[in-house]
Amino acid sequence: MISRGTFQPLQSVLTVACEQTEVLLFDPISSKHIKTLSEAHEDCVNNIRFLDNRLFATCSDDTTIALWDLRKLNTKVCTLHGHTSWVKNIEYDTNTRLLVTSGFDGNVIIWDTNRCTEDGCPHKKFFHTRFLMRMRLTPDCSKMLISTSSGYLLILHDLDLNKTLEVGSYPILRARRTASSSDITSSSLSSPRAVGSPCHQNDSSPVSEKQMSRSSQREGGSPRNSLEVLTPEVPGERDRGNCITSLQLHPKGWATLLRCSSNTDDQEWTCVYEFQEGAPVRPVSPRCSLRLTHCIEEANVGRGYIKELCFSPDGRMISSPHGFGIRLLGFDAHCSELVDCLPKEAGPLKEIRSLYSHNDVVLTTKFSPTHCQIASGCLSGRVSLYQPKF
């Protein structure tokens, strides 16, 4: 099973994470398989992230992160230990050279790659929340977004990765359900919902009311690492819970892209939410940072499996797993910029092209950073490379 794939920044290598402890390397130009790291980890490989043109990191269900050098793939640079459960996400701040990982232990851990040795890197636990699914940094690393299997989306604003967040110490600025444009000025707080998501059965808010009561506001603006808790609006899910299974960021930081499944696993949606920038009028007034702008219902083939979708490098298109293939989606039929076609009310994403070449359910897809090329991987382990013409 293919769990995730990513291109090297210069397009010279496509790396693919596999369920069977392997990492596969392809030449994306010729589509040839060039190398297999057969025992990259001791359990399923979940994610791959390039730190620069030669160094990349992998994470696994064996609870570790490994650093690799493309020039010497016969051995790892080092192995990082710190998580206590499956590690699912890797992010990297190129300005500080801090590696950020998250796992099903609920922890977000910071690793200082500036002081990396064969024995590992200095690390610290940065944040913890229950039911953590996915974690992402915005392109400018000013925000951290965390999705949960209980349908909550957490946003850490004015991010400072050097500041450790103790439980209950972070200021909670806003906690509410995302609103449509008709009720965006509403100031009512959302209450935790009994969801019963397929990902877990004992759902509750990732941040307790006691922690909320402890939080404080700094007069005149938001403090560093201020936390916002949202339950994003999902079409067809207004009275039911949902599990946020995939989380991506627009390459220009304009929006976030979510793949959500219903608590009964009978519906699946791809949704785009625009960031609403600016501080609240009053520091204590709740204001939703995200607004649903576009959405589309998915095929819901391969229930129970997470499907990873992505933006194109210019942010004009979305590639989304759809049954045994992928769909290329746009904000309008002309693949316009998001900012040029923002609707007053949430509207449908437009299907630009469908590409089908697999004989099993597609679980992941990725655009090349430099070429008109898209990779996809399916449940049976096959990788396909497309060069669509428009």
- Domains of the chain by residue range: 1-174+225-231, 236-278+286-389
63-78 confidence digits (pLDDT tens)? 999 999 999 999 999 9
Q: What are phi and psi of 151, to 5 degrees?
A: 90, 5
Judged by DSSP in three states, 114 sits in: helix
Pairing state of beta strands 172-177 and 226-231?
A: parallel
Is 390 a residue whose pLDDT tops 80? no
Q: CB-based contacts of 130: which residues, under 8 Å, 6+ apart?
A: 106, 148, 150, 204, 206
209-243 confidence digits (pLDDT tens)? 444 433 334 334 557 898 999 988 888 655 555 78
Is 137 a residue whose pLDDT tops 60? yes
**Can you tell me the distance from the alpha carbon of 19 to that of 318, in angstroms, rounded to the nearest whole number?**
25
Average pLDDT, integer, range 16-45: 89
State the pLDDT confidence band at 95, using cuts at 50, 70 and 90. confident
Query: What pLDDT does residue 319 have?
Result: 97
Q: What are phi and psi of 209, to 5 degrees?
A: -65, -30
Pairing state of beta strands 310-311 and 350-356?
A: unpaired
Question: What's the CATH architecture for 1-174+225-231?
Answer: 7 Propeller (2.130)
Report whether 216 contacts 233 (CB < 8 A): no
Tell me whether the CATH fold assigned to 1-174+225-231 matches the one assigned to 236-278+286-389. yes
Superfamily of domain 236-278+286-389 in CATH is YVTN repeat-like/Quinoprotein amine dehydrogenase (2.130.10.10)
